[in-house]
Structure 1
Amino acid sequence: MSPPLFWVDEVPAAGTEAELSGPEGRHAVTVTRIGAGETILLGDGRGASATCEVVGTRGKDALRARALEYRFVDRPKPQVTLVQALPKSERSELVVELATEAGVDVIVPWQSSRSVARWVGSKADKGVAKWRATAAAAAKQSRRAWIPEVTDLASMTDVRARCADVLDGGGRVVALHESGRDAFGGIDFRSAPGVVLVVGPEGGLSDEELADLAALGAQVCVLGPQVLRTSTAGAVALGALGVLTDRWDLPGGRS
């Protein structure tokens, strides 16, 4: 089993020491009960990490560790953005957790026309903050080198602009919907520099949204014979992309 990962602002170079304190230090010392001599990973969520040996602990919320090996991992290619319509509240964080574990690079919370959940005013700020915290926790649990970016709440205008940028750059935009005529596995993702996956809410994408996306050049497609829930569709698509592209190749990194 790989060592536990903890987030730091700056990853120590090999042969140097670093202190882990604050909430991460408390979790390591008090919750995980990490002690001297054990191995941990320290990462910054921006590609850098170090395998470290714990030198000692201080109180209930701090430890010192010596870096044994430094590593940097590039983002996988193509980069994948998930435009996720707001799901019902009980499944809201599950969407982010599953997509993060499956390797998403950017998550765009989207107030679609059929979303039951409504993020208005301060509720939008709280919702985005919760999604960002969930992404960081899921990235740590899955030992990811990169914490996925979670953007501010997007409107359809924002989504159109993002999709247009990716298409202009030679990327692919795919709207996942049961009415799609294209098979997900038949799309050439390997040559695309970027991919946008658009997932609707429990009620699905509206006809207007599908037409809007198709007019931009998006492909409306199905993943398979089953109709997936909004909370799992993005993660399943990311898993398929891992096989259809080089995204799941073992990272070489650089020391």
Structure 2
Amino acid sequence: MTHWLYLPELASTGTAAVLEDTEAAHAVRARRLREGDVVCVFDGAGRTAAARISEVIKRPLKVHLALEAQQHWALPEVRIHLTSALPKGDRQTTMLDMVTQLGMTDFTPVNFERSVSRAGTGSQDRWRRVLIESCKQSQRPWMPLVHSSIDLAEWISGPSDDGVVNLVAHKEGESRSAVIEESLVEAKQVRLLVGPEGGLSESEFARLHQTQTTMVSLGEGVLRVEAG
């Protein structure tokens, strides 16, 4: 298996590049890569390139790469925008890791009446590190976009044009197969709203029922936020 490494400046790089700090340590200490090994570098904006490790300098740790021709990948045909309440602590990391590997293209935290956690100082930097690692694991050239927190009113006033499907995860919603058959076939963007651990309040549930959204059930049980 070819290992992926993150090189954000790939677009402006010629035939040679250098990995330093965290990414160099990941390549040498975590992946045990050595001179002569072939890897794939990506910038998170759709560009990838095959590269061969030409030299490893141990102090300070640097990994020199010889790059081949770059490839630019098209954006996914359907944007999957997860708009969700935040779970507590490390479960935020679990959620973002899993949904990135599954194909999420956008993430927006949503504040609800019963939210148990909100985005704080440094959250976006921490989440970005998670997204990078998830893209390397799943070999995804496009890193998901992380947007600023919104409240439910802002979500409701969001796009509802042709090609945009607005879904709300709820135990009493329609089955997944029915929604996919009726709503998702021609979708260009899917916005999935996942509520907080305490569930939607009565007023929030009523407001959503008055909008052009579809309640969708993800199973018979009540799932954790990060599993939604």
Alpha-carbon contact 2:75-2:142 (below 8 Å) kept:
yes
Partner Cα separation in structure 1 for residue 21 and residue 90 of structure 2 = 30
Match of 1:229 in 2: 224
Q: Residues 77-120 of structure 1, C-alpha deviation per residue, up to 9 Å, x if partnerless?
A: 2101001111122422111111111110001111211112244x
* Residue pairs, 1:17-166, within 5 angstroms: 17-60=16-59, 61-119=61-119, 124-162=120-158, 165=159
TM-score after normalising by structure 2: 0.88
Q: Tell me if 1:190 matches 2:190.
A: no
Aligned match of 2:166 in 164, 167, 173? Answer: 173
Partner Cα separation in structure 1 for residue 221 and residue 117 of structure 2 = 25
User: How much identity, in percent, do the aligned residues show?
Assistant: 28
**Which structure 1 residue ranges, 5 or more long, are not aligned?**
234-255
Q: Relative to 1, partners in 2 of residues 1:113 and 1:24: Cα closer, same or farther, differing over 3 Å?
A: same
- 2:91 is paired with a residue whose SS is helix
- 2:70 is paired with a residue whose SS is strand
Q: Relative to 1, partners in 2 of residues 1:50 and 1:118: Cα closer, same or farther, differing over 3 Å?
A: closer
Q: Relative to 1, partners in 2 of residues 1:205 and 1:7: Cα closer, same or farther, differing over 3 Å?
A: same
- 1:223 is paired with a residue whose SS is coil
After the TM superposition, list the runs of 4 or more consecutive aligned residues in structure 1 that deviate by more than 4 angstroms: 12-15
Q: Residues 210-253 of structure 1, C-alpha deviation per residue, up to 9 Å, x if partnerless?
A: 322332201112123333221111xxxxxxxxxxxxxxxxxxxx
Partner Cα separation in structure 2 for residue 114 and residue 16 of structure 1 = 52
- 1:179 is paired with a residue whose SS is strand
Number of aligned residue pairs: give it.
224
Match of 2:194 in 1: 199
Amino acid at match of 1:125: T
- The Cα of 1:199 is off from its aligned counterpart by 0.6
**Which structure 2 residue ranges, 5 or more long, are not aligned?**
none
- 2:39 is paired with a residue whose SS is strand
Partner Cα separation in structure 2 for residue 29 and residue 22 of structure 1 = 11
Q: Residues 134-189 of structure 1, C-alpha deviation per residue, up to 9 Å, x if partnerless?
A: 22221222221111111122222332233xx1x12431000010122x22222221
Partner Cα separation in structure 2 for residue 51 and residue 12 of structure 1 = 14
Higher strand share: 2
Alpha-carbon contact 1:8-1:42 (below 8 Å) kept:
yes
Partner Cα separation in structure 2 for residue 206 and residue 132 of structure 1 = 31
Alpha-carbon contact 1:28-1:34 (below 8 Å) kept:
yes
Partner Cα separation in structure 2 for residue 72 and residue 42 of structure 1 = 12
Q: Relative to 1, partners in 2 of residues 1:62 and 1:14: Cα closer, same or farther, differing over 3 Å?
A: closer
Match of 1:210 in 2: 205
Alpha-carbon contact 1:80-1:195 (below 8 Å) kept:
yes
Match of 1:241 in 2: none
Q: Relative to 1, partners in 2 of residues 1:12 and 1:105: Cα closer, same or farther, differing over 3 Å?
A: closer
- 1:88 is paired with a residue whose SS is coil
Match of 1:220 in 2: 215
Q: Relative to 1, partners in 2 of residues 1:204 and 1:24: Cα closer, same or farther, differing over 3 Å?
A: same
Partner Cα separation in structure 1 for residue 202 and residue 189 of structure 2 = 25
- 1:134 is paired with a residue whose SS is helix
Higher helix share: 1
